[in-house]
Amino acid sequence: MIEIELLPVMSDNYVCLLFDPATGTSGVVDPGVAEPVLARLAELGRGLDWILLTHHHADHTGGLPALRRETGARAVCSRGDVGRIAGIESGTDVAVGEGDVVTFGALAVHVLETPGHTRGHVSFWISGEETLFCGDTLFALGCGRLFEGTAEEMWRSLSKLAALPPSTRVYCGHEYTASNARFALAVDPDNPDLRRRAEEIRGLRERGEPTIPTTIELELRTNPFLRVGDPAIRRRLGMEEASEVEVFAELRARKDRF
Protein backbone atom coordinates (compact mmCIF):
# COMPACT_ATOMS: atom_id res chain seq x y z
CA MET A 1 0.00 0.00 0.00
CA ILE A 2 1.23 3.48 -0.83
CA GLU A 3 2.43 5.52 2.15
CA ILE A 4 1.13 9.10 2.30
CA GLU A 5 2.28 11.81 4.67
CA LEU A 6 0.74 15.27 4.91
CA LEU A 7 3.07 18.23 5.29
CA PRO A 8 1.28 21.45 6.32
CA VAL A 9 3.01 24.42 4.68
CA MET A 10 2.43 28.16 4.41
CA SER A 11 -0.85 29.27 5.97
CA ASP A 12 -3.19 26.45 4.98
CA ASN A 13 -1.64 24.36 2.17
CA TYR A 14 -0.95 20.66 2.27
CA VAL A 15 1.90 18.93 0.45
CA CYS A 16 1.59 15.16 0.15
CA LEU A 17 4.67 12.96 0.37
CA LEU A 18 4.20 9.64 -1.41
CA PHE A 19 6.21 6.43 -1.05
CA ASP A 20 5.77 3.05 -2.72
CA PRO A 21 7.47 0.58 -0.34
CA ALA A 22 7.37 -2.18 -2.95
CA THR A 23 9.80 -0.31 -5.22
CA GLY A 24 11.22 2.51 -3.09
CA THR A 25 9.68 5.11 -5.40
CA SER A 26 9.25 8.52 -3.77
CA GLY A 27 7.05 11.41 -4.84
CA VAL A 28 5.42 14.63 -3.78
CA VAL A 29 2.15 16.31 -4.75
CA ASP A 30 1.86 20.10 -5.12
CA PRO A 31 4.99 21.34 -3.34
CA GLY A 32 4.34 25.04 -2.86
CA VAL A 33 7.67 25.32 -1.07
CA ALA A 34 10.73 23.09 -1.13
CA GLU A 35 12.38 23.42 2.28
CA PRO A 36 9.94 21.35 4.40
CA VAL A 37 9.90 18.65 1.73
CA LEU A 38 13.69 18.44 1.55
CA ALA A 39 13.96 18.42 5.34
CA ARG A 40 11.46 15.59 5.72
CA LEU A 41 13.05 13.57 2.92
CA ALA A 42 16.41 13.93 4.67
CA GLU A 43 14.87 12.70 7.94
CA LEU A 44 13.43 9.69 6.12
CA GLY A 45 16.61 9.02 4.17
CA ARG A 46 14.78 9.21 0.85
CA GLY A 47 15.41 10.76 -2.50
CA LEU A 48 12.67 12.08 -4.75
CA ASP A 49 11.61 10.60 -8.09
CA TRP A 50 8.36 12.36 -9.05
CA ILE A 51 6.73 15.75 -8.51
CA LEU A 52 3.01 15.68 -9.32
CA LEU A 53 1.43 19.09 -10.00
CA THR A 54 -2.33 19.55 -10.16
CA HIS A 55 -2.29 23.14 -11.46
CA HIS A 56 -0.07 26.13 -12.06
CA HIS A 57 -0.76 28.30 -9.01
CA ALA A 58 2.44 29.20 -7.18
CA ASP A 59 1.26 27.87 -3.82
CA HIS A 60 1.22 24.43 -5.47
CA THR A 61 4.31 24.69 -7.65
CA GLY A 62 6.73 27.14 -6.03
CA GLY A 63 9.02 24.42 -4.69
CA LEU A 64 9.58 22.78 -8.06
CA PRO A 65 12.86 24.47 -9.11
CA ALA A 66 14.62 23.80 -5.81
CA LEU A 67 13.33 20.24 -5.55
CA ARG A 68 14.52 19.46 -9.06
CA ARG A 69 17.90 21.05 -8.38
CA GLU A 70 18.42 19.11 -5.15
CA THR A 71 16.96 15.73 -6.16
CA GLY A 72 16.78 15.46 -9.96
CA ALA A 73 13.11 14.49 -9.74
CA ARG A 74 10.87 14.68 -12.83
CA ALA A 75 7.64 16.67 -12.82
CA VAL A 76 4.20 15.70 -14.10
CA CYS A 77 1.82 18.50 -15.06
CA SER A 78 -1.14 19.23 -17.31
CA ARG A 79 -0.43 19.91 -20.97
CA GLY A 80 -2.47 23.05 -20.46
CA ASP A 81 0.01 24.29 -17.85
CA VAL A 82 3.22 23.78 -19.80
CA GLY A 83 4.64 27.30 -20.05
CA ARG A 84 2.70 28.45 -16.98
CA ILE A 85 4.78 26.64 -14.34
CA ALA A 86 8.24 27.95 -13.59
CA GLY A 87 10.80 25.17 -13.80
CA ILE A 88 9.04 22.77 -16.17
CA GLU A 89 11.58 21.33 -18.61
CA SER A 90 10.48 20.10 -22.02
CA GLY A 91 11.89 16.67 -22.80
CA THR A 92 12.48 15.87 -19.13
CA ASP A 93 9.10 16.37 -17.54
CA VAL A 94 5.83 14.65 -18.43
CA ALA A 95 2.86 16.64 -19.78
CA VAL A 96 -0.43 14.78 -19.36
CA GLY A 97 -4.13 14.92 -20.12
CA GLU A 98 -7.33 12.97 -19.62
CA GLY A 99 -6.81 9.20 -19.67
CA ASP A 100 -3.03 9.26 -19.45
CA VAL A 101 -1.35 6.94 -16.95
CA VAL A 102 1.89 7.66 -15.11
CA THR A 103 3.82 4.72 -13.66
CA PHE A 104 4.76 5.42 -10.05
CA GLY A 105 6.81 2.42 -8.92
CA ALA A 106 4.38 -0.50 -8.97
CA LEU A 107 1.38 1.82 -9.08
CA ALA A 108 -0.61 3.29 -11.97
CA VAL A 109 -1.53 6.95 -11.54
CA HIS A 110 -4.48 7.87 -13.77
CA VAL A 111 -4.90 11.45 -14.94
CA LEU A 112 -8.31 13.12 -14.79
CA GLU A 113 -8.82 16.54 -16.34
CA THR A 114 -10.72 18.63 -13.80
CA PRO A 115 -10.89 22.24 -15.05
CA GLY A 116 -12.90 24.95 -13.34
CA HIS A 117 -10.60 26.38 -10.68
CA THR A 118 -8.05 26.78 -13.47
CA ARG A 119 -8.32 25.79 -17.10
CA GLY A 120 -5.44 23.30 -16.92
CA HIS A 121 -6.27 21.63 -13.62
CA VAL A 122 -5.76 17.86 -13.39
CA SER A 123 -6.34 15.33 -10.62
CA PHE A 124 -4.40 12.12 -9.97
CA TRP A 125 -6.31 8.90 -9.23
CA ILE A 126 -4.47 5.79 -8.02
CA SER A 127 -7.09 3.20 -8.79
CA GLY A 128 -5.43 0.24 -7.06
CA GLU A 129 -5.23 2.26 -3.86
CA GLU A 130 -8.56 4.11 -4.26
CA THR A 131 -6.71 7.35 -3.57
CA LEU A 132 -7.29 10.74 -5.20
CA PHE A 133 -5.17 13.90 -5.23
CA CYS A 134 -7.45 16.65 -6.46
CA GLY A 135 -5.63 19.90 -5.72
CA ASP A 136 -8.14 22.75 -5.61
CA THR A 137 -11.04 21.13 -7.45
CA LEU A 138 -12.78 19.26 -4.62
CA PHE A 139 -12.22 20.21 -0.99
CA ALA A 140 -13.52 18.58 2.15
CA LEU A 141 -17.03 20.10 2.31
CA GLY A 142 -16.22 22.51 -0.52
CA CYS A 143 -14.81 23.14 -3.98
CA GLY A 144 -12.40 25.57 -5.59
CA ARG A 145 -13.19 29.08 -6.71
CA LEU A 146 -13.85 29.59 -10.42
CA PHE A 147 -10.76 31.60 -11.32
CA GLU A 148 -10.46 30.50 -14.97
CA GLY A 149 -13.37 28.18 -15.62
CA THR A 150 -17.14 28.27 -15.71
CA ALA A 151 -19.69 26.80 -13.35
CA GLU A 152 -20.56 24.23 -16.00
CA GLU A 153 -16.92 23.14 -16.32
CA MET A 154 -16.48 22.85 -12.58
CA TRP A 155 -19.71 20.92 -12.17
CA ARG A 156 -18.56 18.43 -14.81
CA SER A 157 -15.24 18.07 -13.00
CA LEU A 158 -16.89 17.53 -9.63
CA SER A 159 -19.31 15.03 -11.14
CA LYS A 160 -16.36 13.09 -12.54
CA LEU A 161 -14.75 12.89 -9.10
CA ALA A 162 -18.07 12.08 -7.41
CA ALA A 163 -18.39 9.01 -9.68
CA LEU A 164 -15.21 7.43 -8.27
CA PRO A 165 -15.66 4.54 -5.80
CA PRO A 166 -17.25 5.74 -2.55
CA SER A 167 -14.33 4.46 -0.45
CA THR A 168 -11.83 6.63 -2.35
CA ARG A 169 -9.58 8.63 -0.03
CA VAL A 170 -9.53 12.27 -1.09
CA TYR A 171 -6.47 14.45 -0.53
CA CYS A 172 -7.07 18.11 -1.38
CA GLY A 173 -4.68 21.04 -1.37
CA HIS A 174 -5.87 23.16 1.56
CA GLU A 175 -7.14 23.04 5.13
CA TYR A 176 -10.38 24.89 4.47
CA THR A 177 -12.75 22.43 6.11
CA ALA A 178 -13.84 24.41 9.17
CA SER A 179 -14.92 27.43 7.11
CA ASN A 180 -16.46 25.14 4.51
CA ALA A 181 -18.48 23.46 7.28
CA ARG A 182 -19.92 26.80 8.39
CA PHE A 183 -21.14 27.51 4.87
CA ALA A 184 -22.45 23.97 4.40
CA LEU A 185 -24.53 24.28 7.57
CA ALA A 186 -25.95 27.57 6.30
CA VAL A 187 -27.38 25.93 3.17
CA ASP A 188 -28.04 22.40 4.49
CA PRO A 189 -28.80 22.88 8.21
CA ASP A 190 -31.08 19.88 8.64
CA ASN A 191 -28.55 17.31 7.41
CA PRO A 192 -27.70 15.09 10.43
CA ASP A 193 -24.57 13.67 8.79
CA LEU A 194 -23.31 17.21 8.20
CA ARG A 195 -24.02 18.31 11.77
CA ARG A 196 -22.11 15.32 13.15
CA ARG A 197 -19.25 15.97 10.80
CA ALA A 198 -19.06 19.64 11.74
CA GLU A 199 -18.63 18.63 15.38
CA GLU A 200 -15.87 16.19 14.45
CA ILE A 201 -14.12 18.88 12.42
CA ARG A 202 -14.29 21.31 15.33
CA GLY A 203 -12.57 18.78 17.55
CA LEU A 204 -9.88 17.97 15.02
CA ARG A 205 -8.98 21.61 14.50
CA GLU A 206 -8.96 22.35 18.23
CA ARG A 207 -6.35 19.59 18.55
CA GLY A 208 -4.40 20.92 15.58
CA GLU A 209 -5.10 17.79 13.52
CA PRO A 210 -5.84 17.73 9.76
CA THR A 211 -9.37 17.13 8.49
CA ILE A 212 -8.18 15.23 5.43
CA PRO A 213 -8.20 12.77 3.88
CA THR A 214 -11.92 12.66 3.41
CA THR A 215 -13.75 10.12 1.24
CA ILE A 216 -16.04 10.37 -1.75
CA GLU A 217 -18.80 8.71 0.28
CA LEU A 218 -18.53 11.29 3.06
CA GLU A 219 -18.53 14.17 0.58
CA LEU A 220 -21.61 12.82 -1.17
CA ARG A 221 -23.44 12.83 2.17
CA THR A 222 -22.27 16.21 3.46
CA ASN A 223 -20.70 18.45 0.79
CA PRO A 224 -23.39 20.80 -0.60
CA PHE A 225 -21.46 21.27 -3.85
CA LEU A 226 -22.00 17.57 -4.62
CA ARG A 227 -25.62 17.64 -3.42
CA VAL A 228 -27.18 20.07 -5.88
CA GLY A 229 -30.06 17.66 -6.50
CA ASP A 230 -31.05 17.49 -2.84
CA PRO A 231 -34.61 18.80 -2.40
CA ALA A 232 -33.88 20.46 0.96
CA ILE A 233 -30.97 22.47 -0.45
CA ARG A 234 -33.01 23.45 -3.49
CA ARG A 235 -35.90 24.63 -1.32
CA ARG A 236 -33.56 26.67 0.84
CA LEU A 237 -32.16 28.36 -2.27
CA GLY A 238 -35.61 28.78 -3.83
CA MET A 239 -34.42 26.81 -6.88
CA GLU A 240 -36.64 23.72 -6.89
CA GLU A 241 -36.94 23.66 -10.71
CA ALA A 242 -33.41 24.83 -11.61
CA SER A 243 -30.82 22.72 -13.41
CA GLU A 244 -27.92 21.13 -11.53
CA VAL A 245 -25.49 23.63 -13.03
CA GLU A 246 -27.70 26.55 -12.00
CA VAL A 247 -27.90 25.30 -8.42
CA PHE A 248 -24.16 24.71 -8.32
CA ALA A 249 -23.47 28.20 -9.68
CA GLU A 250 -25.70 29.75 -7.01
CA LEU A 251 -23.96 27.79 -4.25
CA ARG A 252 -20.56 28.84 -5.52
CA ALA A 253 -21.62 32.49 -5.74
CA ARG A 254 -23.00 32.39 -2.20
CA LYS A 255 -19.81 30.80 -0.90
CA ASP A 256 -17.77 33.55 -2.56
CA ARG A 257 -19.78 36.10 -0.56
CA PHE A 258 -19.92 34.09 2.67
What is the Cβ-side half-sphere exposure of residue 110, based on CA atoms within 13 angstroms? 12
DSSP state of 53: -
Q: Using CA atoms, how far apart are residues 184 and 215, in angstroms rounded to an integer?
A: 17
DSSP state of 169: E
107 exposure class (CB count in 10 Å sphere: 0-12, 13-18, 19+) = buried
What is the Cβ-side half-sphere exposure of residue 165, based on CA atoms within 13 angstroms? 11
Q: Is 139 left (phi over 0), alpha (psi -120 to 50) or beta?
A: beta
- Residues belonging to the active site: 55, 57, 59-60, 117, 136, 174
Mutual angle of helices 177-187 and 192-206, in 10-degree steps: 160
